[in-house]
Every structure is written in structure tokens, then in C-alpha cells.
């Protein structure tokens, strides 16, 4: 704890000086409105489609001045353009316009697609001055001009905008648990700071976060110094999806969170929706909220499959990068770098999905790429953890332990993935319940599966406690697995790599893109981490 106390004092002293140095640059106009013709001209619109996108020139006409509705009149494909631009995100049906000048002022505008409209129509959802306008009623003035402080429970819908430095003070809870539901909307380019360690953001059951970053304007959640792990707590989402750990005769399993036992998660709604996390950075989190109880960068407790988690970078977390406590949360395009403990961690019956995951350990810190549990007290507790994971690139270091430790009765399906460079082993299975759940290499149950995957560590396999077969035999018995050099250039496929043609689509699951490559990237030119991530 001495380490954390000293860190807390240092952070408190440095917070104000850092925030005083933060400034917000004016954006060049990305749109213009002609009052004479009622035409909204959008020279560059990037239309997002997963990790792919297309660029367009478009014009919209104001056709309803009372309800501020615009109709698409022209659109033509153009070459891709970098820098500030308008972005249309089909996931949220939103058009984000970073800057449009009206008179002497510059504004951010958000349009929402009107469902079923033909020709396409959009309504004005937000129109926000890009200059600081003072602190709204749900916050108080911060320590420097342009900053506002959030604290305690917030039981109303609120929006955080990029024209303000938002500072968390202690635990900030959105909504009540199962009552007073609220939605937290976070606009593109917004920055949120934990100021001194035990500051964190918690989305309670029934409430939502809409963190709607864009490739050119990601949402950033970080600590005051942005230098070391554990500068603030992190982001927690709680949902109503199924979890385990209750007695078998309990109809509705609800569990208290291990670090803050007054907060609960879990329920009977596998498709529960806790909102959207897109193009979001979570940096330098993981402070211990009490002795030996650190938060993770991103903690998902009973989060359901209706939640959108896509293009999220967790960097330099003191504890885990992303940890699932049960639920059915699904995610894509996850970058987990320099995590102090386990990069991807699950337990409590997580039965979610993930595609395109990159783990890159630091040379001097980090434990496991994956730490996978069902339940530590009852390894056979149901629902049993069994996520489906595809297209992962796990880059370990000599100080790291396992690429994946599968233990405590977990199940899993791993497709099209790479484990390389981990100090102890690439893959380890531990615990009698985990081995029994897998079957045997001669008669696999399908509950513990790895296919079309590469391992390349000094020691590829380790047999843990209660072993009933050799992990090497289990790996070799499954389709198209390789003990071989994946030939990487950093985290991308290198020249001569067989990864671009060595995979297979995950069968029968619409969540997964149908791809036939191994690892998180199709080719050396398919780097979906560009532009929106933190430069580490």
C-alpha cells in the first residue's frame, strides 16, 4: 500500500498543473451551411463499416426548419482523406461534424439518421459550441478555467463535450442500481481525467454509456500525468446478463463486485444493453480502491451482448486490461498494451465473444495474455465460462508468464490466433475440472477448443495441476494448429508469413466477420490501430 499512498500524493499535487497545460485546438471547418440555398455541404464524410470505411462528398438540404431535418441530395465516392473530417457511424446512426462555423463561433454538430427514411433524412441531435461555455448543473467548477468536476451519483441523462476538461472526483456512478436509469453520452474528442487515484466511472445496471469516439477524434479517459499505471481507477460497466457463483436453487443470480461490495451485477438478460464504447482510449488506470483490490482498465460485470464494444485501446493498466465477470459481452478491435497483470481476464461464467484482439506486453512488466476461469470456488458452476475468441495476436515478453492460462473449469473456443514470446509458456491448462471439461485428445468434448492457431514460445506448453493429458497432445489433435514461427513484423504479418491464408471462418456465428486469416490483421497493410489509438 505504501506504493499507492505515495502515488496518490504525487497525483494530487500534479493534477492541477497538468490540467492547466491542456488546451483545445480549434478545428478547421469540416462542413459549411449556405443560408440562401439551405444546403449543408460535407466535403469529406468517412462512412465506417467495421475496420473498413469509404469516403464520400455529400450535400444535405434543410427540408424541415422546425424540426431541423436534412435530406441527402447528392453523394459521390472520393479518395480516402486523413485529418479532421465528418464521420458517419452506422452502429449509432450518427453523423459527427467536428467543426462548422456560424458567425464568429465554431460548433460541433451531430445528426441522427431517421429510421426508414427514403431519401435518407437526418435530424439535428446536438449543436454545441466548441468553446468552453461554463460548467453544467450536474458538475461543479474545476481547478482551472475550462474544467468541470463530476462526483457522486448522477441520475439524469448527461452529455460530456470536447470543449471541457472533465475531472472525476471519487467514484462517479451513472444511475442507481436498477432504478433512476440514466444515459451518459460522451462526444467525439472528449477527455476525462481521474485526478488522484481512487477516481473511477461506473455505469450501473439499467443505465448506459454512449462513448461515441471517431477515428480522428477518439474519446480519452486517462490519469493526470499520463505517465504510469494506476493513476486513476478505470471504467466499470454493470449489466443484467447471466453470471455464476450463486447456489443452484437461486433463480436470479446477482453478485457483489469484489472490490466495491456495495455494487451488484448479473441477471437473466443475455442481450442486455449497457450502451456503446467505440474509438475509446482507457489509459493509465488500475488504482487500488482498497488494499489489494485494484480496478481494471475496463471492467465488465454481467454485461450483455446488446452492448457495442469496438475499437477500444487499454494501455498501461496496473491490474488487468479488460476483465469480464460473467455476462455475454462481445467486442471487436481491442488493443491491450503494457498491461501490468493479465491483458484479457474472465471468470464468473463469461459466454461472450471477441474478434480482432492485440495484446502487446511491455518488456519489463505484465503477467498473462489470457487468464481464464470459470469459478474459483466451484469450477463447475453454471453457466460455465465459454467465450468464443477469434483473430487474436498475443505478443508476450520474457517477464510474462503464460500466453493463455485456462483454469478453474473454464471452457473456450479459440480460432485463428497467435501466441508468441511469453516467458513461461504459450498455453497452460490447469485444474482437474478444466481437463475433464475438455475431454481427451482422442475424444474432445468441444468445450475447450483451439484451432487454426500458432504457438511460438521458448516453452510452448505446460501441464498444470490435475492434468489428465498433455497440453501438447490436446493442441496437436485439433485442426491446423502450428508450433512454428508466425513470421511477424511487430504485430503485423511479415514478409513470407503464412498467417494471411492459414485461418478459417468461425462457423455459424453472425457476430464474427467471415475471414480466413490467422491473427488480428489480414495483411501488413491492414493496421486497424492507426490514427485513433494512444501513441505508446
Residue 25 has pLDDT above 70, yes or no: no
Q: Are 68 and 123 in contact (CB under 8 A)?
A: yes
pLDDT mean across residues, the chain: 94
For residue 166, the model assigns a pLDDT of 98
For residue 291, the model assigns a pLDDT of 79
Residue 430 to residue 94: CA distance in whole angstroms? 46
Average pLDDT score over residue span 74-87: 96
Residue 202 has pLDDT above 80, yes or no: yes
Rg (CA), the chain: 24
Neighbours of 67 (CB within 10 A): 10
**Which ranges of 50-112 would DSSP assign to H, the alpha helix?**
none
User: What cell does 12 get?
Assistant: 494530487
For residue 21, the model assigns a pLDDT of 42
Widest Cα–Cα separation across the chain:
78
Residue 13 has pLDDT above 70, yes or no: no
For residue 29, the model assigns a pLDDT of 86
- Under 8 Å CB-to-CB from 266, ≥6 apart: which residues? 240, 241, 242, 243, 252, 253, 254, 255, 301, 302, 326, 327
**Per residue in 386-427, pLDDT tens?**
999 999 999 999 999 999 999 999 999 999 999 999 999 999
Residue 314 to residue 323: CA distance in whole angstroms? 11
**Per residue in 246-280, pLDDT tens?**
998 899 999 999 999 999 999 999 999 999 999 99
Average pLDDT score over residue span 135-152: 98
Residue 52 has pLDDT above 80, yes or no: yes
Average pLDDT score over residue span 120-125: 98
- Under 8 Å CB-to-CB from 362, ≥6 apart: which residues? 337, 338, 397
Residue 222 to residue 399: CA distance in whole angstroms? 26
Residue 36 to residue 16: CA distance in whole angstroms? 47
User: What cell does 360 get?
Assistant: 502487446
User: What cell does 428 get?
Assistant: 497452460
Residue 85 to residue 76: CA distance in whole angstroms? 16
Q: Are 202 and 267 in contact (CB under 8 A)?
A: no
Residue 62 has pLDDT above 90, yes or no: yes
Average pLDDT score over residue span 354-381: 98
- Phi-psi bin for 416: left (phi > 0), alpha (psi -120 to 50), beta? left
CA atoms lying within 13 Å on the CB side of residue 293: 9
pLDDT band of 11, cuts 50, 70, 90: very low
For residue 12, the model assigns a pLDDT of 41
Residue 95 to residue 530: CA distance in whole angstroms? 21
Return the DSSP state at 505: P
Q: Are 64 and 43 in contact (CB under 8 A)?
A: no
Q: What angle do CA 431, 417, 236 make, to 5 degrees?
A: 70
**Which ranges of 327-479 would DSSP assign to H, the alpha helix?**
432-438, 471-476
Residue 397 to residue 457: CA distance in whole angstroms? 10
SS3 state at 455: strand
Cα–Cα distances (Å) from 384 to 30, 238, 519, in that order, read: 49, 19, 26
SS3 state at 159: strand
Average pLDDT score over residue span 183-204: 96
| Beta strand extents in 239-307 (DSSP E only) | 255-256, 264-265, 275-283, 288-290, 293-294, 298-301
Residue 97 to residue 94: CA distance in whole angstroms? 10
Average pLDDT score over residue span 285-306: 92
Residue 426 to residue 356: CA distance in whole angstroms? 19
Neighbours of 6 (CB within 10 A): 10
Pairing of strands 330-337, 308-315: parallel
Residue 359 has pLDDT above 90, yes or no: yes
Residue 80 to residue 92: CA distance in whole angstroms? 22
Neighbours of 82 (CB within 10 A): 12
If you search the block for the grid coordinates 505508446, which residue do you land on?
536
For residue 496, the model assigns a pLDDT of 97
Q: Are 528 and 356 in contact (CB under 8 A)?
A: yes
**Per residue in 447-502, pLDDT tens?**
999 999 999 999 999 999 999 999 999 999 999 999 999 999 999 999 999 999 99
| Beta strand extents in 155-297 (DSSP E only) | 158-160, 165-174, 183-186, 191-194, 200-203, 208-212, 219-222, 234-238, 255-256, 264-265, 275-283, 288-290, 293-294
pLDDT band of 27, cuts 50, 70, 90: low
For residue 6, the model assigns a pLDDT of 35
Q: Are 109 and 31 in contact (CB under 8 A)?
A: yes
Residue 256 to residue 272: CA distance in whole angstroms? 18
H/E element holding 423?
A: none
Q: Find the distance separating the first CA and the last CA of the chain, reported in whole Å.
A: 27
User: What cell does 363 get?
Assistant: 518488456
Residue 1 has pLDDT above 90, yes or no: no
SS3 content of the chain, % helix, strand, coil (to 5): 5, 40, 50
pLDDT band of 515, cuts 50, 70, 90: very high
Pairing of strands 121-129, 344-347: unpaired
**Per residue in 322-336, pLDDT tens?**
999 999 999 999 999
SS3 state at 201: strand
Amino acid at each position: 500500500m505504501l506504493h499507492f499512498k505515495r502515488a496518490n500524493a504525487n497525483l494530487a499535487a500534479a493534477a492541477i498543473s497538468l490540467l492547466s497545460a491542456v488546451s483545445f485546438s480549434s478545428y478547421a471547418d469540416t462542413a459549411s451551411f449556405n443560408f440562401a440555398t439551405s444546403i449543408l455541404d460535407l466535403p469529406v464524410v468517412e462512412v465506417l463499416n467495421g475496420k473498413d470505411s469509404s469516403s464520400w462528398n455529400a450535400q444535405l438540404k434543410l427540408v424541415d426548419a422546425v424540426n431541423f431535418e436534412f435530406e441527402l441530395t447528392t453523394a459521390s465516392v472520393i479518395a480516402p482523406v486523413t485529418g479532421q473530417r465528418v464521420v458517419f457511424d452506422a452502429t449509432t446512426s450518427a453523423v459527427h461534424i467536428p467543426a462548422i462555423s456560424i458567425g464568429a463561433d465554431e460548433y460541433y454538430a451531430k445528426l441522427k439518421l431517421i429510421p426508414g427514411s427514403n431519401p435518407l433524412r437526418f435530424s439535428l441531435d446536438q449543436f454545441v459550441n466548441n468553446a468552453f461555455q461554463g460548467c453544467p448543473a450536474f458538475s461543479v467548477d474545476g481547478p482551472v478555467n475550462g474544467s468541470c468536476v463530476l462526483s457522486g451519483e448522477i441520475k439524469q441523462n448527461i452529455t460530456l463535450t470536447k470543449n471541457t476538461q472533465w475531472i472525476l472526483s471519487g467514484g462517479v456512478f451513472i444511475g442507481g442500481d436498477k432504478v433512476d436509469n440514466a444515459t451518459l453520452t460522451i462526444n467525439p474528442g472528449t477527455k476525462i481525467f481521474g485526478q488522484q487515484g481512487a477516481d473511477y466511472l461506473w455505469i450501473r445496471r439499467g443505465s448506459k454509456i454512449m462513448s461515441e469516439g471517431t477515428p480522428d477524434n477518439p474519446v480519452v479517459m486517462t490519469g493526470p500525468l499520463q505517465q504510469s499505471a494506476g493513476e486513476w481507477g478505470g471504467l466499470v460497466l454493470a449489466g443484467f446478463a447471466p453470471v455464476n457463483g450463486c447456489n443452484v436453487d437461486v433463480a436470479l443470480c446477482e453478485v457483489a463486485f469484489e472490490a466495491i461490495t456495495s455494487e451488484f451485477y448479473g441477471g437473466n438478460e443475455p442481450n442486455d444493453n449497457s450502451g456503446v464504447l467505440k474509438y475509446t482510449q482507457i489509459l493509465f488506470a488500475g488504482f487500488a480502491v482498497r488494499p489489494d483490490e485494484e480496478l481494471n482498465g475496463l471492467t465488465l460485470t454481467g454485461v450483455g451482448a446488446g452492448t457495442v464494444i469496438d475499437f477500444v485501446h487499454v494501455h498501461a493498466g496496473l491490474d488487468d486490461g479488460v476483465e469480464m465477470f460473467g455476462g455475454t459481452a462481445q467486442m471487436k478491435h481491442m488493443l491491450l498494451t503494457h498491461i501490468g497483470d493479465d491483458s484479457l481476464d474472465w471468470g464468473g461464467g463469461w459466454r461472450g465473444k471477441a474478434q480482432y484482439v492485440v495484446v502487446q506486453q511491455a518488456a519489463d512488466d505484465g503477467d498473462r495474455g489470457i487468464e481464464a476461469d470459470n469459478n474459483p470456488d466451484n469450477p463447475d458452476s453454471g453457466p460455465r465460462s465459454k467465450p468464443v475468441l477469434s483473430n487474436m495476436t498475443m505478443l508476450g515478453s520474457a517477464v510474462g508468464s503464460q500466453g493463455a492460462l485456462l483454469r478453474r473449469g473454464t471452457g473456450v473456443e479459440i480460432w485463428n490466433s497467435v501466441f508468441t514470446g511469453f516467458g513461461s509458456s504459450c498455453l497452460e491448462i490447469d485444474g482437474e475440472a478444466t481437463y475433464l471439461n475438455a475431454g481427451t485428445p482422442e475424444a474432445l468434448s468441444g468445450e475447450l477448443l483451439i484451432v487454426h492457431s500458432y504457438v511460438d514460445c521458448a516453452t510452448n506448453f505446460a501441464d498444470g495441476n490435475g492434468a489428465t493429458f498433455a497440453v501438447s497432445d490436446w493442441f496437436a489433435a485439433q485442426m491446423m494448429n502450428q508450433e512454428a514461427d508466425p513470421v511477424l513484423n511487430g504485430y503485423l504479418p511479415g514478409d513470407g508469413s503464412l498467417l494471411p491464408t492459414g485461418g478459417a471462418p468461425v462457423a455459424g456465428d453472425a457476430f464474427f466477420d467471415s475471414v480466413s486469416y490467422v491473427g488480428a490483421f489480414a495483411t501488413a497493410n491492414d493496421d486497424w490501430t492507426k490514427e485513433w489509438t494512444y501513441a505508446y
